Amino acid sequence: MVNILPSLGDRSLRSLVDLDQGLISREIYVNEEIYKQELEQVYGRAWLFIGHESLVPNPGDFFKSRMGEESVILVRDHKGALHVFLNTCRHRGMKVCRYDDGNTRLFTCPFHGWSYDTDGKLVGVPHFKAAFHEELDKSEFGLHEVAHLCNFYGSIWATWDRDAPSFEDYLGAYADGVRRCFESMDGIDNGVELFQPVQRWRLPCNWKFPAFSFDGDRMHGVTTHRSINVAAIGPQGDRNEGDRHPMRARFPSTAYEMSIRELGHGGHNDIYEQPGVAPYVDTWQTEPPEVDEYYRQAREKKAKKYEGQFLHGGGALIFPNVNIQEQRILHWHPHGVGATESWRLYQVDRNAPQAVRDAQRRYMMRYCGPAGLTESDDMENWNYASEASSGMMARRLPYPFKAGLGHNHGDDRVPGMTLNFDIAEENQRSRLARWLAFMEAGSWNDLYPNTKGK
Amino acid sequence: MTTDMTVETMRQMLERLMLQRDIEEFLSMEAELLDERRYDEWLEYIADDIHYHMPIRRNVRFGEQYRENTSADSEISWIDEGKRVLIGRVRQINTGIHWCEEPLSRVRHVVSNVQVYDPEGDEVKVRSRFIVYRNRMEDEVDLFAGKREDILRRDSVTGWKIAKRTIILDQNVLLAKNITFFF
């Protein structure tokens, strides 16, 4: 299938994405017509991150999330099962849920009073007899539910597309890395919960600026974040030149840009030369000693669990718009061609003591989010890069994505992964390749042929 | 007897009026320091043990307003920090390469409706309302409205120091791309 873009003089989408030369038209970041196609072709099909089961622990608990531009409700029904519904009344479209989170027995529309059970069934229609003469088939007008939902070690994902592959197949070789981002520090699966609530704020840039560059643009750090070390926001305070990251033990390894070309996921990950888990180095100098003590003991337990095993890979940008890391989740929702709603969610060990929770929470708040000392500079750059790419002349100039071009290779230790230098632009090329595939695909059959007959 | 009472009452009223005036002047002076980007001087009026907190505000069902603003004890806020990080913010702006404040934003604080509560020891609780206007680069505009709940502490050198500040911003989704200045 070839997408033709009348706004560009009948050019095909493919002509804008030259991955062999690493030249990408700015149009795909600023063109309204392309943006509208993205919502259908990408957001209508892909598995999207919704939230975490810890946000809705009890029957009736709900959490308002988002898929693409649209509001959805993650809810645990009265029997304990999880659902994701589009937040719109089936009668005239009013939002049936206008709270960020809470607990409810019913979602009742404030317009005409249609009400829905937590499992989505339409259970109440005012004037059912007088106006509808009891002829309305309520079973046809339940809340619109996603086609598939997956609870992946506590994290919740969903897709609108019935033909999508299983979520594990969608993740491919990154399934293991994502799984470990929802482990507690001591290595227990599904061992975390999310701090509440979500930080949500608006960025004046196309969603692909953050989503496609994060964890695929190590090059930006030294320039964008040049001012951060003087602020010494890291757990170790002024020590170690004010490094904003926690101290890490030396462990023989090589860092790569690692991605799955066929799936579009990718991160900055290590390949280790030795099995096991690196020992813990005290890092929380600005906190009570029990914080380091907790992490140290947790690391020892984790080391036992993974003794003799190689833990290559880790967190990554999961196509199209969420970056899953060990203590933070960065999520960017399209909000018009030139706007993004940015979300930050933070994991913490479910059993962590108060001092650890406080230390981790405050570190994340001063690092991440709109007031985070690191991320604020990213937003300035995405903002004005977006603006200065939109002009009549500017949009004719392609972006070069050439760093590391022609240097891809594989490694038997991480089957299915494409490796490139630690500082490269291969992860971004990989996302753009997958993006083009989604934009051209007629259905999931064109996107994941190996699921045929699954 | 009656006359003595009146004098005493008047003395108390005058004291109260002076306190109100003193604190309003302090808040105006603080706003001037911030608007003129005299951040290093501003830090001198910040107590070493300050808690500087800007909660996130939820949309909650009627009757659940108690959990509308996020708690500094257990939840995520926009900002939740002490003096160490505030000093870090000032240092970062002063590098001249903190790109989101280079060139510097034009920020104006309008502080009003100042309510001064009865002093307790050397501390006094103060509530004020703010409109903070940010204009940046050529046409970037952000408008923030909200309330500040402060605890001011008497100080022999600076007159007052801010010992606690809670900033209640009247937004749910933050409509600005970032927060790179002080409230």
A373 contacts in B (CB within 8 Å)?
Answer: 85, 88-89, 92
B181 contacts in A (CB within 8 Å)?
Answer: none
- Is B174 within 8 Å of B62 (Cβ atoms)? no
Q: How high is the pLDDT of residue A285? A: 87
Summarised one tens digit per residue, pLDDT across range B68-96 is: 999 999 999 999 999 999 999 999 999 99
| Residue A325 scores a pLDDT above 90 | yes
> What is chain A's mean pLDDT, rounded?
94
| Residue A450 scores a pLDDT above 70 | no
User: Residue B68: which of A144, A434, A100 has the closest Cα?
Assistant: A100
The H or E element spanning position B46 is strand B46-54
Per cent of chain A over pLDDT 90 is 85
In a domain, B176, yes or no: no
The residue of chain A with its CA nearest to that of B58 is A100
DSSP SS3 for A300: helix
Q: How high is the pLDDT of residue A275? A: 94
What is the extent of the structural domain holding B34? 2-169
Q: What's the rounded mean pLDDT across residues A249-262?
A: 90
Compute the Cα dihedral for A153, A157, A162, A164 and give only its sign: negative
Domain total in chain B: 1
B175 contacts in A (CB within 8 Å)?
Answer: 201-202
Q: Measuring CA to CA, how many Å separate B101 from each of A388, B90, B110, B177, B179?
A: 18, 11, 21, 12, 10
In a domain, B147, yes or no: yes
Band (A144; pLDDT cuts 50, 70, 90)? very high
- Tell me how close the Cα of B57 comes to any Cα of chain A, in angstroms: 9
In a domain, B111, yes or no: yes
Note whether B80 contacts A: Cβ–Cβ < 8 A.
yes
Per cent of chain B over pLDDT 70 is 98
Residues A233, B61: C-beta atoms closer than 8 Å: no
Q: How high is the pLDDT of residue A1? A: 47
Q: How high is the pLDDT of residue B176? A: 96
Check residue A162 and give left, alpha or beta (phi > 0: left; psi -120 to 50: alpha): alpha
In a domain, B24, yes or no: yes
The residue of chain B with its CA nearest to that of A376 is B178
Residue at A431: amino acid letter:
R
Strand partners, A71: A66
User: Residue A97: which of B64, B170, B175, B59 has the closest Cα?
Assistant: B59
In a domain, B179, yes or no: no
Residue to test with chain B: of A97, A340, A373, most B Cβ within 10 A: A373
> What is chain B's mean pLDDT, rounded?
96
User: Residue A206: which of A75, A340, A301 has the closest Cα?
Assistant: A340
Question: How far apart are alpha carbons A283 and A289 in whole angstroms?
Answer: 10
| Residue B52 scores a pLDDT above 50 | yes
Quickly tell me which residue has 């991955």 as its tokens: A19
A286 contacts in B (CB within 8 Å)?
Answer: 84
In a domain, B154, yes or no: yes
Q: How high is the pLDDT of residue A454? A: 36
- Is A109 within 8 Å of A123 (Cβ atoms)? no
- Tell me how close the Cα of A443 comes to any Cα of chain B, in angstroms: 34
Compute the Cα dihedral for A313, A318, A324, A325 and give only its sign: positive
- Is B180 within 8 Å of B66 (Cβ atoms)? no
Question: How far apart are alpha carbons A367 and A346 in whole angstroms?
Answer: 12
Q: What's the rounded mean pLDDT across residues A70-84?
A: 98
- The beta strand positions in A264-411, using DSSP E, are 265-272, 316-318, 322-324, 329-334, 340-345, 347-349, 399-400
DSSP state letter for B103: S
Band (B3; pLDDT cuts 50, 70, 90)? low
Note whether B85 contacts A: Cβ–Cβ < 8 A.
yes
* Residue B35, domain CATH: 3.10.450.50
Which domains are present in chain A?
Answer: 48-148 (2.102.10.10), 185-451 (3.90.380.10)
Residues B85, A224: C-beta atoms closer than 8 Å: no
Question: How far apart are alpha carbons A317 and A269 in whole angstroms?
Answer: 11
Q: How high is the pLDDT of residue B164? A: 98
Q: How high is the pLDDT of residue A313? A: 83
Crossing angle of the two packed helices A289-305 and A354-367, in degrees rounded to 10: 90
| Residue A230 scores a pLDDT above 90 | no
Residues A199, B60: C-beta atoms closer than 8 Å: no
Quickly tell me which residue has 């090329």 as its tokens: A429
A228 contacts in B (CB within 8 Å)?
Answer: 92
Per cent of chain B over pLDDT 90 is 97
- Is A320 within 8 Å of A170 (Cβ atoms)? no
Check residue A232 and give left, alpha or beta (phi > 0: left; psi -120 to 50: alpha): left
In a domain, B175, yes or no: no
Indicate if ipTM > 0.90: yes
Taking one residue from A and the other from B, the number of pairs with CB-CB distance under 8 angstroms is 122
Residues B88, A233: C-beta atoms closer than 8 Å: yes
Summarised one tens digit per residue, pLDDT across range A327-379 is: 999 999 999 999 999 999 999 999 999 999 999 999 999 999 999 999 899 99
| Residue A27 scores a pLDDT above 90 | yes
- Tell me how close the Cα of A14 comes to any Cα of chain B, in angstroms: 32
Q: What's the rounded mean pLDDT across residues A247-261?
A: 88
- Tell me how close the Cα of B45 comes to any Cα of chain A, in angstroms: 19
* Candidate from A197, A231, A361 with C-beta closest to B56: A197
- Tell me how close the Cα of A263 comes to any Cα of chain B, in angstroms: 30
Quickly tell me which residue has 């507690």 as its tokens: A184
User: Residue A246: which of A237, A257, A255 has the closest Cα?
Assistant: A237
* Candidate from A230, A237, A362 with C-beta closest to B91: A230
Summarised one tens digit per residue, pLDDT across range A265-290 is: 999 999 999 999 999 999 998 899 99
Band (A453; pLDDT cuts 50, 70, 90)? very low
- Is B128 within 8 Å of B113 (Cβ atoms)? yes
- Is A319 within 8 Å of A263 (Cβ atoms)? yes
Half-sphere exposure of B27 (CA within 13 A, CB side): 26
Note whether B32 contacts A: Cβ–Cβ < 8 A.
no
Q: What's the rounded mean pLDDT across residues B23-38?
A: 98
Q: Measuring CA to CA, how many Å separate A162 from each of A48, A148, A159, A165?
A: 14, 7, 8, 9
Residue at A375: amino acid letter:
E
The H or E element spanning position A359 is helix A354-367
DSSP SS3 for A165: coil
Going by C-beta distance under 8 Å and a sequence separation of 6 or more, which residues neighbour residue A301? A186, A187
In a domain, B180, yes or no: no
Quickly tell me which residue has 């890391």 as its tokens: A325
| Residue A252 scores a pLDDT above 80 | yes
B75 contacts in A (CB within 8 Å)?
Answer: 195-197, 361
* Candidate from B61, B91, B95 with C-beta closest to A99: B61
